[in-house]
Structure 1
Amino acid sequence: MIIEYTGRHTTITQNLKTQAEEGIARIGKVTNRCTHVHVTLTEDKYRKHAELTMQCRGESLVARCESTTMEQALHDALIKLETQAVRHKEKNATVRDHTPKPADVVATDQLDIAAA
């Protein structure tokens, strides 16, 4: 997985990179086929913003958070992204598990019931 960092009006420390990589690794276990993550950290007066964009299976998961410390903003954004990933996975599993049966399988099931 490719991780890109962008710091606007701030420097990205090794501590922030480590925190982001650990969180993204945890989210990567939930999702499949995520190819690209973009982490944007912005400082504006006393507000710190963290934005994470993750590309998965043609869809884009985005989380934005604001806090007074950069670590807390990044932590909140990672939690939001993880909940989105879990919701996305459950939605895909529901659609996959509730696909209609082919006509020939339905017909043989009905013959078995009628014969019994």
Structure 2
Amino acid sequence: MQVEYTGRQTEVPDELKALAARKLKKLARVLRGITHVHIILTVDKHRHQAEVSARSPRRSLAARQQTGDLGVSLATVFDKLIRQAKRHTGKRQERKRRVPARAAAQPEA
């Protein structure tokens, strides 16, 4: 997995890289086969924004969060991505479990 950090108007501290690594482990459990992750941290006066995009062969996910603290923004963004990934895998599982309409409509003899 290739992880790319971009800091706009700021340097990316090691503490935030460690937080991102922990959250990436959780995301990797939910979304299999992540190939590339791009983390963008932006600081504008009192606005601290974190944006993360994750790519896998089947799905691309992206989220953005803006708060007063970079750590909170980054943690919230990863929580959003994990929710998106769970929702996507849940939809895939539902589609696999559906019974064809013809089989459900035919009465048993």
Q: Fold conserved (TM > 0.5)?
A: yes
CA, structure 1 residues 46+97, in 2 after alignment: closer, same or farther (shift >3 Å)? same
- What is the match of residue 62 of structure 2? 62
Query: In 2, Cα distance between the equivalents of 1:59 and 1:83?
Result: 14
Query: In 1, Cα distance between the equivalents of 2:94 and 2:57?
Result: 16
Task: Read off the aligned partner of 1:95 and give its amino acid letter.
Answer: R
- What is the match of residue 39 of structure 1? 39
**1:74 CA drift (Å):** 0.4
Give the alignment's TM-score, normalised by structure 1: 0.82
Equivalent positions of 1:1-116 (< 5 A) are 1-98=1-98, 100=100, 114=109
Query: In 1, Cα distance between the equivalents of 2:99 and 2:5?
Result: 40
Identity over the aligned pairs, expressed in percent? 36
The gaps in structure 2 that reach 5 residues or longer are: none
Helix, strand or coil at the partner of 2:35: strand
Task: Read off the aligned partner of 2:73 and give its amino acid letter.
Answer: A
Query: In 1, Cα distance between the equivalents of 2:53 and 2:42?
Result: 14
- Kindly indicate which of the two structures has a greater share of residues assigned to helix: 1
RMSD after superposition: 1.9
Query: In 2, Cα distance between the equivalents of 1:99 and 1:54?
Result: 33
Helix, strand or coil at the partner of 2:71: helix
Q: After TM superposition, which residue ranges in structure 1, 4 or more long, deviate above 3 angstroms? A: none
Moved more, 47-56 or 57-66: 57-66
CA, structure 1 residues 66+87, in 2 after alignment: closer, same or farther (shift >3 Å)? same
CA, structure 1 residues 58+73, in 2 after alignment: closer, same or farther (shift >3 Å)? same
- Of structures 1 and 2, the larger Rg is shown by 1
Q: Deviations over 1:87-109 (max 9, x none)?
A: 01101111122264xxxxx7xxx
